[in-house]
Structure formats: structure tokens, C-alpha cells
Amino acid sequence: MSFPPGQVTMSQPVLDPDALAALKRYLRIAVDGENAVLTEQLMSAYALCERFLGVTLIVRDITEILTGGSGWQALTYRPVIAIDAVDGLLADGPEVALAVDSYALDIAADGSGRVRIERPGAAGRVRLQYSAGMAGNWNGVPEPLQQGIIRLAAFGYSERAADARPPAAVTALWRPYRRIALI
């Protein structure tokens, strides 16, 4: 099985029941008949929040394939909590263990992670396994981000058939947490 460089897989976020309960309170829904639709809206709003911010909110496990070349390579997701494994991948698919002194890892104060493969041996690509996220669960996500997610999910639920713009209050809540890369 071949894994191209740049391929990233990650576990799905697990939103506590508190997130669904908060959305139902916001919408004043007391019955459970709409839980599936509400959960779908909540997950969509959560994903949009992460994309807008450029960070992973709730800690998840991530596997990323990078080239085996030299030079520092940035990891896709942040804030990186830990880099758990670095394995070399041969051209025909099998993995090989890389010696600890054949690569360098760095997690910066801003949560960005990077790796430099100094001696890949026969491995043309490397597989990194790491964890990234701001909080361990929904309750650890900063309140303004939670409120923006709830408001966006509520908007998505109530305006399903309409072609309306999302409320500006959502991005106003998220903007102070946004990370923008300057090139």
C-alpha cells in the first residue's frame, strides 16, 4: 500500500454531550427527536471553526506522511502536543524503524510542530504520528469559541432552507483566536 507525501489522516473530534445540550438550550429544544440533525449542524460548525482559526480545538490523533528529504518540514495541524512516532516508509510500502538520531523534532511555543529527517536511509517518505489540540474536551474549549460554534450550528439548523448569510457575531467571537500565516 503506497502512501503519498502530504497525506494526513486524523481521528474524528469527540464532542461531549454538553455541546449538544448547549445547542438545544440555545434553540429552546426540549425533545430528542432532532438530535441527529443538531449533531450534524454542530459538527459542521465545529469543522468550520477549526478551519477559520487554523487550529485543532479538541485533541486528536493525527498521522501525516512527509518526504524523507532534508530540511525542516512543518506539520499540518497545531497546536502540537506530542510527536509520538516517526517511521520510515520504503517505496514498496513497508515501514522501517528510523534511529532516534536520524531525525530532529521541534514543537515551538506557538504549538507549531516540525521535523527534519537527517538520515532517512532507504526510506523516501516518513510517517509521523502526533497529537494536536487546544483542549482535552468540549468544556476546555474557550467560551467565545463554544458560543460561536453554537450560534453557527443554530443558524444552520434554523436557516436550512434559506440562502442567508451566517451571523457576523460568529466570526467576531472567533477572530481573537485566529492564526494567520504571513507569507
pLDDT digits (tens, 9 = 90+) for 52-79: 998 999 999 999 998 887 789 999 999 9
Predicted confidence at residue 179, as pLDDT, reads: 77
pLDDT of residue 182: 66
Q: Which of 52-56, 68-72, 137-141, 168-172 has the lowest mean pLDDT?
A: 68-72
- pLDDT at position 1: 45
pLDDT per residue as tens digits for the range 4-61: 557 888 988 888 899 999 999 999 999 999 999 999 999 999 999 999 998 999 999 9
pLDDT 10s digits, 98-112: 888 899 999 999 999
Tell me what pLDDT residue 22 has.
Answer: 96
**Secondary structure of the chain in HEC code, one letter for each residue:** CCCCCCCEEECCCCCCHHHHHHHHHHHCCCCCCCHHHHHHHHHHHHHHHHHHHCCCCECEEEEEEEECCCCEEECCCCCEEEEEEEEEECCCCCEEECCHHHEEEEECCCCCEEEEECCCCCCCEEEEEEEECCECCHHHCCHHHHHHHHHHHHHHHHCCCCCCCCCHHHHHHHHHHCCCCCC
Q: What value does the mean pLDDT of the chain take? A: 89
